[in-house]
Homo-oligomer: A and B are copies of this chain.
Amino acid sequence: MSDAVKLIEVKEEIQADNARVADGLRAQLAEKRTFLVNLMSAPGAGKTRTILRTIEALRDRWRFGVLEADIDSTVDAERVAAVGIAAVQLRTGGFCHLDASMVAKGLAALDLDSLDAVIIENVGNLVCPAEFDTGAVKNVMILSVPEGDDKPLKYPLMFTVSDVLLVNKIDYLPFSDFDLEAMRERVLRLNPRMQIFEISAKTGQGVDQWAAWLDGEARRFLGN
């Protein structure tokens, strides 16, 4: 058990440092009028496709940039850049989450004066990213139908720290035993203020409702 105790102490120290950096970053972004959203999920839940759909829905109104984080590869940033959106790929090189310093570094590579909103695609991981404040104004998570309706029981912190839950891949519902009502009840027990939207980033179903919510939050933040 001594190993475990040691790791926890270190983690707490690092998290306290990170919280300070995140608060500073948030203040700086408020001044610069950049609306920062942190998107988290397990691997393969559809983060990149959701980002593309979201930006497509709101592109007439807001100028978006994207920070793509991955252990390795640049495939996601390439997908985003391919449709003409400013994208930076952060290669974490083994790191399992983004912290506020990494996000600050990524933002420095974007021209924030020409952007209204930046979406962070965090590392695909339902555990570690939930523990590190990125400096974002809103935390959004995706749970995809094939992952199962029991995930709130197993990864409670992620469901607790998120403001929005996007239930993605609802086009898989007919082939799945996913229980939407049971999932919803488990989520709201952990986090009664969670906004829940059901979407399919593949077909576009439900994206408008989620985009309208995000639009409202961006208006509130940017004062437009």
Contacts and interface: CB of A to CB of B under 8 A. Distances in A.
A147 interface: yes
Given A125-B126, A146-B172, A17 B44 contact: no
A127 B69 CA distance: 13
A92 to B, nearest CB: 9
A196 B96 CA distance: 25
A94 interface: yes
B96 A147 contact: no
Interface in A164-184: 169, 171-172, 175
Interface in A5-21: 6-7, 10, 14, 17-18, 21
Nearest to A102: B4
A43 B155 CA distance: 9
6 contacts: A3-B14, A6-B14, A7-B14, A42-B42, A43-B155, A124-B155
Given A96-B96, A124-B127, 9 more contacts: A1-B101, A7-B14, A42-B44, A44-B146, A94-B131, A96-B125, A125-B125, A127-B128, A128-B128
